[in-house]
Amino acid sequence: MRRREFITLFGRAAAVSWPFSVRAQQAGKLPTIGFLGAGSPSGWSNWTAAFLQRLHELGWVEARTIAIEYRWAEGRSERYAEIAAEFVRLKVDVIVSVGSAAAVAKQVTSAVPIVFTLSADPIGDGMAASLSRPGGNVTGLSIQSIDIAGKRLELLREVVPNLRRLAILTQVGNSGSALERSKVEAAARSLGVEVVILEMRNVDDIVPAFAALKDRAEALYVLSNPLANTNRAHINTLAQTERLPTMHGFREYVEAGGLMSYGPNTADLFRRAGDYVDKILKGAKPSDLPIEQPTKFELVINLKAAKALGLTVPSTMLARADDVIE
């Protein structure tokens, strides 16, 4: 073999075997993450910080060894495809987002690796063939929110023992909300609790939904979704005005004035997403990275909200709580 041919073949082999991050830096381009925020920068600040902290621990430094392109949908799901397409044009090396946005991003690209957090049903949403072997360009973390919907309703009844009518606030078109809603409705039926559905498609639907409720429910179950997350403080203010105790899936809603939540530690899930990104930038394929599940669920109670509603939280529940906001 002639020397020039050998050098060419060796170069091609090296390009295939070297981790992508090394090749990108060799070419003068930092590995780039496309961070698709389904909500707002302020609403996601704790999650973004946890993600960046983990990357830093793994040796990645923004603007030095890695670049991050942030885009925010502000709770508008119709923006997901547009943002994902922009990331493809920018030739990002991996896209990070929540499950609902990741499912749309997968429809836009089957080539760019995608890491999701907070996915209610990654298999049902068509993002993965199985939890152990995702099989495509998408992997990440499932939150099992659907599986514990009944447990949330049981906890709510401990605080509102005479609960007979439950309002459920849902985002139309959000697959995770639809699945969780069906679980909550089934749990309510088994407990003899009547359900009232409040639907919202955008922020303008929130106030009319509460106006239409008027004395038709004794508590409110807020389904976790990007629109509710972006407007969680507003939703909790309206619920307080209507004297409605609220149940949520994430602690961030309780920190924004809600009564109680039961679910995974969301900041920890975003932190763990950093591990996925690290592995992918070092050459791992999403198809070979198993989808992980939460390792802990936490009960968070807001005593300030309870006092404003005139509710007494049982001491037994306070003893079980992972965090009590006073």
Element of type H or E holding 187: helix 175-190
Structure tokens belonging to residue 84 = 């994902």
pLDDT band of 145, cuts 50, 70, 90: low
Beta strands in 185-284 (DSSP E): 194-200, 219-222, 246-248, 260-264
Is 149-264+298-325 in CATH node 3.40.50.2300? Answer: yes
pLDDT at 220: 98
Domains of the chain by residue range: 3-143+266-296, 149-264+298-325
pLDDT exceeds 50 at position 120: yes
pLDDT at 6: 37
Same fold, 3-143+266-296 and 149-264+298-325: yes
Mean pLDDT of 32-43: 94
3-143+266-296 is classed in which CATH architecture? 3-Layer(aba) Sandwich (3.40)
Sheet containing strand 138-142, strands side by side: 67-72, 32-37, 94-98, 114-119, 138-142
pLDDT exceeds 50 at position 15: no
> Range with the lowest mean pLDDT among 9-23, 28-42, 68-82, 273-287?
9-23
Q: What tens digit of pLDDT does each residue of 229-262 get?
A: 999 999 999 999 999 999 999 999 999 999 999 9
pLDDT at 5: 40
More confident residue, 77 or 70: 70
pLDDT exceeds 60 at position 27: no
CB atoms under 10 Å from CB of 287, counted, come to 15
Tell me the average pLDDT of the chain. 89
> Range with the lowest mean pLDDT among 7-11, 104-108, 282-286, 288-292?
7-11
pTM strictly above 0.75: yes
Mean pLDDT of 266-294: 95
